[in-house]
């Protein structure tokens, strides 16, 4: 009948209130141009782990227990949390996060990594800063920090990674990590930095240019998750 067994695509669970807010946000932003989106500094944290998740390999029948065909598992795999920012002009410096991100830690990240990212990508030009609604991001003290530093925030709907083009950059980084074999956290960090540094400004510009299409997709989906 044309059906095939497939692993379901994982998307954030959205309640009716969140879907309505996503739709309202998209309707408000639907007339923004690519040039206007180019003034937005997008940011996000991501977790990167050891190993090549989902990797496939070639083998003959009966070779499934051959050592060269096995994939080793780790009971407690190590991972690193990293923060980054991007604009249409490229990417900013990475921050490897060593502790739980509360408001104070997040403001340190903004001070030492977001501001240098803005300086690198915008110089003296004005920009708008995007971050999601994680508790540390939406804390009152973080809002005060942004106000004190003259940072304009972009209002953002909850549970909307499909609207953030930096998610695609994290996907590129993690795809490249599948070809590496780091033996410890320092080697993993080095591999992440190398992958991040290889991202070209042209890639970032193409992702920023997709914002009108992302917004249109949210409108057509009536606030539900989209393909992005």
- Here the CATH number for the domain that contains residue 183 is 3.30.420.10
Percent over 90 (pLDDT), the chain? 75
Asked whether residue 175 is domain-assigned, the answer is yes
In this structure, the strands spanning 90-91 and 95-97 are unpaired
Q: Which residues pair with 95 in a beta bridge?
A: 83
- 121 sits in which H/E element: helix 115-122
Asked whether residue 8 is domain-assigned, the answer is no
Asked whether residue 177 is domain-assigned, the answer is yes
Domain extent, residue 206, equals 16-47+76-220
225 has a pLDDT exceeding 90: yes
Percent over 70 (pLDDT), the chain? 87
Mean pLDDT across the stretch 98-107?
95
74 has a pLDDT exceeding 50: no
Asked whether residue 126 is domain-assigned, the answer is yes
pLDDT tens digits for 138-164? 999 999 999 999 999 999 999 999 999
Asked whether residue 33 is domain-assigned, the answer is yes
Task: For residue 55, give the 3-state DSSP assignment.
Answer: coil
Average pLDDT over the chain, rounded to whole?
A: 90
pLDDT tens digits for 9-21? 678 889 999 999 9
CA angle 136, 142, 145 (to 5 degrees): 155
Q: What is the pLDDT of residue 158?
A: 95
Q: What is the pLDDT of residue 200?
A: 96
How far is Cα 144 from Cα 130, in angstroms, rounded to an integer?
A: 15
Mean pLDDT across the stretch 214-218?
98
Asked whether residue 208 is domain-assigned, the answer is yes
Q: Which residues pair with 152 in a beta bridge?
A: 128
Q: What is the pLDDT of residue 75?
A: 45
pTM for the model = 0.85
As given in the structure block, the two tokens for residue 37 are 């989106």
Mean pLDDT across the stretch 40-59?
76
Confidence of residue 190 (pLDDT cuts 50, 70, 90): very high
- Count of structural domains within the chain: 1
How far is Cα 127 from Cα 95, in angstroms, rounded to an integer?
A: 20
Mean pLDDT across the stretch 115-143?
97
């Amino acid at each position: 009948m044309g059906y095939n067994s497939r692993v379901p695509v994982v998307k954030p669970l959205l309640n009716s209130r969140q879907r309505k807010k996503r739709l309202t946000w998209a309707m408000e932003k639907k007339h923004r141009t690519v040039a206007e989106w180019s003034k937005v500094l997008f940011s996000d944290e991501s977790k990167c782990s050891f190993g090549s998740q989902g990797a496939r390999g070639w083998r003959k029948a009966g070779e499934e227990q051959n050592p060269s065909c096995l994939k080793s598992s780790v009971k407690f795999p190590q991972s690193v949390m990293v923060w980054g920012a991007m604009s249409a002009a490229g990417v900013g410096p990475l921050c490897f996060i060593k502790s739980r991100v509360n408001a104070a830690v997040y403001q340190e990240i903004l001070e030492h990594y977001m501001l240098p990212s803005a300086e690198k990508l915008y110089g003296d030009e004005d920009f708008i800063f995007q971050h999601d609604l994680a508790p540390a991001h939406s804390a009152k003290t973080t809002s005060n920090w942004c106000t004190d530093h003259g940072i304009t925030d972009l209002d953002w709907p909850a549970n909307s990674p499909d609207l953030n083009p930096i998610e695609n950059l994290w996907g590129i980084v993690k795809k490249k990590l599948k070809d590496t074999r780091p033996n410890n956290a320092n080697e993993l960090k080095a591999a992440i930095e190398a992958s991040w540094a290889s991202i070209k400004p042209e890639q970032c510009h193409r992702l920023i240019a997709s914002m009108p299409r992302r917004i249109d997709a949210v409108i057509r989906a009536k606030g539900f998750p989209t393909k992005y």
